[in-house]
């Protein structure tokens, strides 16, 4: 109850930057509690802990968003209201990701191996799927359709379980945080070897880690957020039987959100294949 009361849907929408701190705290509690109680399964249990802490906030937020659909007459106004919620999703996700990356860097190696082992295996599997000399267009197609599957899961989880998309978002934050932490730890010695002072090396390694994964990661995760909102709104509308009263309004909003999510995925795929390699 203490962690659940850190913020409310209204405060989150009005002050989305506070969600960065909430996400950071949730991830930190999840990491240490899972390592302490369920050490052998810490990698997945920490994600489940984050989901448990986040469900009340996200469920209330979805209820609020569904009421916005019924409140406004114009779709433009509805989408503007959704955009405010997407902002708080972004800050929450960044808070989670930064926490996962920071603790990957700070914690002893034996703890990191235990806590982040599942995420490391996932990253290795993904790297094998996108390597092998594939042409850029083929690589883009592979990445785009892989991300499409995640978007569908996000939408379905949110529709079936109300706040189910939180699991997808928390899991992706843990994977990206692990990748950022690993990139930081491998880049830092190279920078120090080049006689860059320690403070400068830390700053450069941190900035490069953020750029490498957030450049395409932010639009990609935005797609999952928007898909989760679409599924959550449809779920709440069915529960409240609003979908029977304003079928056209609900389905129009659902379709618009799904289209926006696909556009975000398209941008993310293009950035990952054609822009990120220019820097790394």
Contact 162, 232 (CB under 8 A): yes
Examine the pLDDT at 198 and tell me if it is beyond 90. Answer: no
In the predicted model, what is the mean pLDDT of residues 160-177? 83
pLDDT in tens, 4-17: 555 555 555 566 67
Q: DSSP readout, 236-250?
A: HHHHTTHHHHSHHHH
Considering the entire predicted model, what is its pTM?
A: 0.85
Residue 228: pLDDT band (50, 70, 90) is: confident
Q: Residue holding tokens 């249990």?
A: 45
Residue 153: pLDDT band (50, 70, 90) is: confident
Calpha distance 17→36 (Å, rounded): 30
Q: Which of 81-90, 143-152, 153-162, 259-268 has the lowest mean pLDDT?
A: 81-90
pLDDT in tens, 89-135: 888 899 999 999 999 999 999 999 989 999 988 888 776 665 544 56
In the predicted model, what is the mean pLDDT of residues 40-68? 80
The whole-number pLDDT of residue 184 equals 93
Percent of the chain with pLDDT over 70: 78
Percent of the chain with pLDDT over 90: 23
Calpha distance 236→220 (Å, rounded): 25
Q: What angle separates helix 247-270 from helix 42-71, to the nearest 10 degrees?
A: 130
Q: Specify the number of domains making up the chain.
A: 1
Of 91, 95, 113, which is closest to residue 185 (Cα–Cα)? 113
CB atoms within 10 A of CB 138: 12
Residue 47: pLDDT band (50, 70, 90) is: very high
Q: Which domain holds residue 265?
A: 4-279
Examine the pLDDT at 208 and tell me if it is beyond 70. Answer: yes
The whole-number pLDDT of residue 103 equals 95
The whole-number pLDDT of residue 90 equals 85
Spacing of C-alpha 257 from chain mean position:
17
The whole-number pLDDT of residue 71 equals 63
The whole-number pLDDT of residue 33 equals 93
Tell me the two tokens of residue 255: 């379709």
Computed over every residue of the chain, the mean pLDDT equals 81
In the predicted model, what is the mean pLDDT of residues 228-252? 72
Q: Torsion angle, CA of 5/30/124/229, rounded to 10 degrees?
A: -20
Examine the pLDDT at 73 and tell me if it is beyond 80. Answer: no
End-to-end CA separation in angstroms for the chain: 44
Query: CB burial class (10 A; 0-12, 13-18, 19+) of residue 87?
Result: middle
The whole-number pLDDT of residue 7 equals 55
Calpha distance 103→10 (Å, rounded): 30
């Amino acid at each position: 109850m203490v962690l659940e009361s850190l913020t409310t849907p209204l405060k989150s929408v009005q002050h989305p930057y506070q969600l960065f701190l909430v996400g950071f705290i949730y991830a930190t509690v999840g990491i240490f509690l899972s390592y302490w109680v369920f050490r052998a399964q810490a990698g997945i249990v920490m994600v489940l802990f984050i989901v448990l802490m986040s469900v009340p906030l996200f469920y209330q937020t979805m209820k609020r968003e569904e009421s916005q659909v019924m409140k406004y007459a114009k779709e433009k106004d509805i989408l503007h209201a959704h955009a405010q919620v997407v902002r708080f999703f972004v800050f929450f996700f960044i808070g989670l990701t930064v926490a996962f990356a920071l603790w990957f860097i700070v914690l002893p190696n034996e703890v990191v191996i235990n806590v982040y082992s599942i995420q490391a295996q996932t990253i290795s599997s993904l790297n094998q799927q996108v390597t092998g000399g594939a042409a850029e267009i083929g690589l883009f197609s592979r990445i785009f359709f892989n991300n499409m599957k995640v978007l569908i899961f996000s939408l379905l989880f949110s529709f079936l379980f109300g706040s189910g998309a939180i699991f997808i978002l928390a899991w992706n934050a843990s994977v990206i945080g692990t990748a950022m932490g690993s990139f930081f730890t491998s880049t830092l010695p190279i920078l120090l070897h080049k006689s860059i002072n320690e403070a400068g090396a830390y700053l450069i390694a941190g900035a490069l880690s953020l750029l490498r994964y957030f450049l395409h990661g932010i639009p990609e995760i935005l797609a999952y957020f928007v898909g989760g909102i679409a599924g959550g709104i449809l779920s709440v509308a069915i529960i409240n039987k609003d979908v029977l009263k304003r079928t056209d309004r609900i389905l129009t909003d659902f379709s618009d959100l799904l289209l926006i999510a696909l556009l975000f995925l398209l941008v993310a795929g293009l950035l990952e294949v054609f822009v990120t390699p220019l820097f790394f």
